[in-house]
């Protein structure tokens, strides 16, 4: 049995530049892995691929991106895998934290090693891009600037010491619905933007930006209230990650972050957690 961890991510900066003829959108985003992680267990067993996800039976089907990752490897290599895969889910689903994309990337990398397939990282990233726009990032590294649909990656600076408080009030938001809500037409015009510096916690807090907030906040006004309350709780900056609905706040002291957790933790049904960048 092989046991591996599958981390979530945050978007510190996300600009949507335009809509492409293929229906996707060109973006520029700063992505960061965090220490909130699912766990995946891989066992060679049986004669086909079986996925188990304790507590989440709705994820145990052929539409799960983990299945699709296995299938892509089988098609690429001509190999058939006999596997039992168990996913222990901690990352909220459809939360803007990249949990599914991370699971797919972790599956590609783990099976590549388990079965000595010897596919280079660049090949795995290209396969991942066909599964989802965020998958290549999780293969690439802990932090990166991503452009195109998210598949063109460049190394980013490691972040300074900081803490993040995540708040998710347990609704799921469709990424497709949010992007469609931007109502961007097809265009080849140049969009000007400035890449912020992220060398200090203050610079990070001042540089936080996400074009998708306006759509998701329109769908769920509670998100805007959570962001405001996060700042009132002492966060240096706050932002929605991805298409939401997770809101996070940045803190430069663990004690202040813990105080915010206690405030939001009064809502017993919400997901509230302190995390650190990897």
- Name the residues annotated as catalytic: 9, 134
- Write the Ramachandran bin of 57: left for phi over 0, alpha for psi from -120 to 50, otherwise beta: alpha
Cis peptide before 245 (omega within 30 of 0): yes
Phi, psi dihedral angles at 143 (to 5 degrees): -150, 145
CA angle 21, 240, 151 (to 5 degrees): 40
Q: How far apart are CA 27 and CA 15, in angstroms?
A: 6
- Write the Ramachandran bin of 185: left for phi over 0, alpha for psi from -120 to 50, otherwise beta: beta
Phi, psi dihedral angles at 125 (to 5 degrees): -65, -40
Structure letter (DSSP) for residue 208: -
Q: How far apart are CA 69 and CA 58, in angstroms?
A: 18
Which of 34, 30, 277, 15 minimizes the C-alpha distance to 153?
30
Q: Helices 254-264 and 222-232 sit at what angle, rounded to 10 degrees?
A: 140
């Amino acid at each position: 049995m092989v046991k591996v961890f599958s981390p979530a991510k945050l978007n510190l900066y996300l600009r949507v530049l335009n809509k492409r003829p293929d229906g996707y959108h060109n973006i520029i985003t700063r992505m960061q892995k965090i220490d909130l992680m699912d766990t995946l267990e891989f066992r060679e067993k049986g004669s086909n691929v079986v996925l188990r996800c304790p507590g989440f039976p709705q994820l145990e089907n052929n539409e799960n991106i983990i299945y699709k990752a296995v299938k892509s490897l089988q098609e690429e290599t001509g190999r058939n895998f006999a596997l039992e895969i168990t996913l222990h889910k901690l990352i909220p689903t459809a939360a803007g934290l990249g949990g599914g994309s991370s699971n797919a990337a972790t599956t590609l990398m783990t099976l590549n090693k388990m079965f000595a397939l010897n596919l280079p990282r660049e090949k795995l990233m290209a396969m991942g891009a066909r599964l989802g726009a965020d998958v290549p990032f999780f293969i690439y590294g802990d932090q990166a600037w991503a452009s195109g649909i998210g598949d063109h990656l460049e190394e980013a600076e490691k972040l300074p010491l900081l803490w993040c408080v995540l708040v998710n009030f347990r609704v799921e938001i469709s990424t497709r619905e949010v992007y469609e809500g931007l109502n961007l037409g097809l265009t080849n015009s140049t969009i000007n933007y400035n890449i912020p510096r992220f060398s200090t916690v203050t610079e990070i807090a001042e540089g936080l930006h996400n074009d998708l907030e306006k759509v998701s906040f329109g769908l769920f006004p509670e998100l805007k209230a959570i962001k405001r309350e996060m700042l009132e709780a002492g966060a240096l900056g706050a932002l929605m990650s991805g298409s939401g609905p997770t809101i996070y706040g940045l803190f430069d002291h663990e004690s202040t972050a813990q105080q915010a957790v206690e405030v939001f933790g009064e809502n017993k049904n919400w997901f509230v957690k302190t995390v650190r960048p990897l």
